[in-house]
Structure 1
Amino acid sequence: MKKLAASLGVILLAIGLVACGESGDKKERVKADSKEITVKHELGKTTVKQNPEKVTVFDFGTLDTLEKLGLSSKVAALPKQNLPKYLKAFDTDKAVDAGGLKEPDFEAINNAGSDLNIISGRQSDSYDKFSEIAPTIYLGLDTSNYLDSFHANVKTIGKIFNKEKEAEAELDKIDSQIKEVKDAAPKDKTGLIILANDGKISAYGSGSRFGLIHDVLGVKPVDMSIKASTHGQSISMEYISEKNPDYIYVIDRGAAVGGESSAKKTVENDLVKTTNAYKTGKIIYLNPEYWYLSGGGLESVSEMVKEIGDSF
């Protein structure tokens, strides 16, 4: 009987230890799942659940980064209008169509039931409305400090989704790519960045939304006085001829937003044909999806850097 009692005691003790172990593991899992972090961003501070299950994304650069980090399944809602072709995998019934980049469908966003909203410049005025639905963070690029801002945004995503090592590894690859391109940039040549839009053209310089070309990749601006602004500085064909850049980088807005692609017809006129850029075949038509719609993503920035490197 004593032996039987002792055996039963051992068994009960073992069961108790296992139960405690399981209870402890469960508590640890619950604790990990309920962890929250505070994200500082341009529009404030937001308490965010770490590794959220469902996310509404209104920034295509962020969408690009999520895909690169293997987080596509987390996207519950996004604006499907003007979605870049390389991100078309998100245009499925698995994700709610949340309206347009500038016209969010807040009813659809609410119905998506996301744990987190991620927005950028085009939705900044609606930050409060987004925040009423779910915790919202702003991950727009600070173009006056492009590279640091890009790094910070990717690292924020990595921290939120427990992908910090993966994010760092991808950033290291891009940093190496940037160094190679910057080292290859001709020091005695100048460049001009223009946006073509329905027959009109605007110039962009250092510190602008396309300033990566000058500020990070080392292409010398043909005009240092171009003021950084969202819509660029309106210029004439005479201006381009007078400045005579060695490289002209063209972003076709019409092609980016699904309109008519008319940039080449607009740009390559008799005046522009007098420039060094035209004479040496250095009018480069950049991918408008990367440059106009989804800049700031891990894939888009890598491809943008590659395009400039190829132009040399």
Structure 2
Amino acid sequence: MTRKISLLLVTIMMMLVAAACGTTSTNSGSNNAAGGSSTPTTPAPEAAKAPTELTFKHQLGETKVKTNPKKVVVFDYGILDSLDKLGLDSVVTAVPQSNLPPYLAKYKDAKFKNAGTLQEPAFEKINEMSPDLIIISGRQQGHYAELSKIAPTVFMGIDNKKYMETFTENMERLGQIFGKEAAVKEELAKINASIKKVKDTAAASGKNALVTLVSGGKVTAYGTGSRFGIIHDVLGITPVEKNIEVSTHGQTISFEFIVEKNPDYLFVVDRETAVGESKTTAKQIIENELVKKTNAFKNGKIVYLDANYWYLSGGGLVSVAAMVQEIEKGFK
């Protein structure tokens, strides 16, 4: 009998201990949500996320990049205007300052260092900066190997034959590097909506266009797949001539060529104004007695594009949006 009582007491004690443990567990969790009297435990602050490493394959190779770099040297003005648009100006350490477009003039400030020129990086100065990341595009691609010795270097140029694909990829990569994926997605959606509007207008108009660059008193033409081919390939405006040579500097043409093709619209980029070498304006050169015979001139459809976007930058969240808006405004 005594033994049975002892076993009963041991069993009761074990049940009480188990009940106590269960009460403690409940009070620290769901019981508090139901109005329990115990004070909830304050969660420990979340630890800052350590940088992760991303690997990007690009036109010039493969580069490993750590996220959230603090010191970035930027050689492409389109990438620079994208970082600025995303509120990331604080990570910009250096840029080529000699040909900055006016809309990026803030980067001439002394708190930003000069990285050289668009064609010639200041290698020693950049090395002294100990950057976390260097971003380049077409004008610097010949220096990729040497810059890569200083810091991880990523090529973010635009493939003119796949303009929107490479532009979108570059922007998404910036989003991944700096944790700005949502902001990039939002900006791209706005740009794509604007593009659709222009494409719809172009399709309904039945009009054609010739895209030209004026430099040193000479005129060159650009067609599909060229540096200004976005007008035809992305925005859907019919080229007046389908067989224009695709080259960096465009196909040299005469004023007689313009008259012969007789475009409905004539888009003009003034290179000399963009690089500060202007002696005469593109308007003075283009609007001569021959070109005045064209439909473009007669109907007031010669559109002078902002060379700061079209020639110096391009490929950025700000510049591409502005370029599309210029065409939308001019193609009416």
| TM-score normalized by the length of structure 2 | 0.84
Matched, 1:284 2:303: yes
1:197 aligned partner: 215
The 3-state SS of whatever aligns with 2:131 is coil
What is the SS of the residue equivalent to 1:104?
coil
Does the 8 A contact of 2:51 with 2:68 survive in 1? no
Q: State the secondary structure of the residue aligned to 2:273.
A: helix
- Residues 181-196 of structure 1: matches in 2 within 5 Å? 181-185=198-202, 186-196=204-214
- 1:236 match: 254
SS at match of 1:33: coil
Partner of 1:110: 127
What corresponds to 2:144 in structure 1? 127
1:8 aligned partner: none
**What corresponds to 2:81 in structure 1?**
64
1:147 to 164, 175, 178: 164
Deviations 1:278-297 (A, max 9, x none): 00011110000000011000
Q: Could you tell me which amino acid in structure 1 is paired with residue 117 of structure 2?
A: G
Letter in 1 for 2:260: E
Gaps in structure 2 of 5+ consecutive residues: 1-40
* Structure whose CA Rg is larger: 2
Displacement over 6 Å in runs of 4+: none
The farther-off stretch of 61-70 and 186-195 is 186-195
Indicate conservation of the 8 Å contact 1:187/1:219, yes or no.
no
1:95 shift after superposition: 1.1
1:296 and 2:315 correspond: yes
Work out the CA distance in 2 between the residues paired with 1:279 and 1:83. Answer: 35
Aligned residues: 288
Q: What does residue 264 of structure 2 align with?
A: 246
| Whole-angstrom CA distance in 2 between matches of 1:233 and 1:33 | 51
Query: 1:34 Cα shift?
Result: 3.1
CA distance in 1, matches of 2:147, 2:281: 36
Is residue 2:304 matched to residue 1:257? no
User: For 2:165 and 2:302, how far apart are their aligned partners in 1?
Assistant: 29
Report the Cα distance in structure 2 between the residues aligned to 1:119 and 1:229, rounded to whole angstroms. Answer: 20
Structure 1: segments with no counterpart, 5+ residues: 1-17
Name which of structure 1's ranges 240-249 and 183-192 shifts more when overlaid on structure 2.
Answer: 183-192
Secondary structure at the counterpart of residue 158 of structure 2: coil
CA displacement at 1:150 relative to structure 2: 0.8
For the pair 1:213 / 2:231, whether they are aligned, the reply is yes
Q: Partner residue of 1:15?
A: none
| SS, match of residue 109 in structure 2 | coil
**What secondary structure is seen at the aligned counterpart in 2 of 1:210?**
coil
Q: Distance in 1 between matches of 2:250 and 2:306?
A: 18
Judge which range, 35-44 or 244-253, deviates more: 35-44
User: Over the residues paired in the alignment, what is the CA RMSD in angstroms?
Assistant: 1.4
